[in-house]
Amino acid sequence: MRIIPVLDLKGGQVVRAEQGRRDRYRPIVTPLSASADAVAVAEGLRRLHPFPTLYVADLDAIEGRGPNSETLARLAGMRDAPELWADAGYADAASLEAALETPALCPVLGSESQADTELLRRFGRHPDLILSLDFFADGFRGPANLLEDPDPWPQRVIVMTLAKVGSGAGPDFERLREIKARAGARAVIAAGGVRNEADLRELARLGIAAALVATSLHDGTLTPAQIATLAETPNA
């Protein structure tokens, strides 16, 4: 089970997500870092485990306030730089093409940012593209046919259940099963609600390839020993 730590960026700082209610997000307070600075938090996470990949949600870009480009560049410039999966509200071909051409960056095409399926159909076969199917408390956010027709999906698909983020309620196993069945041989990544090692082992049993995780890393529920064991054990 691949664990991918999450950095939610707002105003250049890492914020703590709360069930997709972004107006409530505040700078993170974590024992892993003395500040909410993105690089400091990333370094703290990588002291737990040498995570090779970080997921970054640029909330300012997603909500139309302009990207945290400098912060992303600093993360990319870290020592032993991680691969960055970045959702920066990509909604036009020019910005997505530029992201796809950036080394060590895998752009995440968030369904909530799409007006139609044009970008997905145009770039879906690119090996670095990742699709995020975004589910809020009121349901799926994005074009209905993007969810219903899996044919143009890329090889990696995130099931982002935002109502579960930071809730301590556990992953949405039922929805993950549904999307996994629809996705065929594609890698499905769970996002939202992971509480502990047991959740991660259950996700692995369902055939989920990876999980985006934040709260259980910062509160210590997932220990370095558990993370290492999960990373090394097939079908964890």
Going from the C-alpha of 198 to that of each of 29, 48, 140, 179, the distances in angstroms are 25, 19, 27, 21
Q: What is the pLDDT of residue 67?
A: 92
Q: Mean pLDDT, to the nearest integer, of 20-33?
A: 82
Contact between 39 and 25 under an 8 Å Cβ cutoff? The reply is no
Q: d(Cα 68, Cα 88) in Å, to the nearest integer? A: 8
Q: With a threshold of 0.85, does the pTM exceed it?
A: yes
Report H helices in the chain.
38-48, 59-62, 69-76, 93-100, 118-123, 144-148, 173-183, 197-205, 215-218, 224-232
Q: Tell me the pLDDT band of 236, cut-offs 50, 70 and 90.
A: very low
Give the residue, 17 or 116, on which the prediction is more confident: 116
Q: Tell me the pLDDT band of 29, cut-offs 50, 70 and 90.
A: very high
Per residue in 183-235, pLDDT (tens digit) is 999 999 999 889 999 999 999 999 999 999 999 999 999 999 999 999 876 55
Give the residue, 193 or 22, on which the prediction is more confident: 193
- CB atoms inside a 10 Å sphere around CB 191: 28
- Asked if pLDDT for residue 7 goes beyond 80, the answer is yes
Q: Tell me the pLDDT band of 138, cut-offs 50, 70 and 90.
A: confident
Q: What is the pLDDT of residue 228?
A: 94
Give the residue, 106 or 136, on which the prediction is more confident: 106
**% of the chain at pLDDT higher than 70:** 93
Give the residue, 84 or 164, on which the prediction is more confident: 84
Per residue in 157-191, pLDDT (tens digit) is 999 998 766 556 789 999 999 999 999 999 999 99
Tokens 């099931």 — which residue? 159
Q: Mean pLDDT, to the nearest integer, of 143-151?
A: 96
Contact between 58 and 70 under an 8 Å Cβ cutoff? The reply is no
**CATH numbers and ranges of domains, the chain:** 2-232 (3.20.20.70)
**What's the chain's average pLDDT?**
92
Q: d(Cα 9, Cα 27) in Å, to the nearest integer? A: 9
Q: Tell me the pLDDT band of 91, cut-offs 50, 70 and 90.
A: very high
Q: Tell me the pLDDT band of 22, cut-offs 50, 70 and 90.
A: low
**% of the chain at pLDDT higher than 90:** 83
Element containing residue 83 per DSSP (H, E): strand 83-87
Q: d(Cα 179, Cα 159) in Å, to the nearest integer? A: 8
Q: What is the pLDDT of residue 168?
A: 67
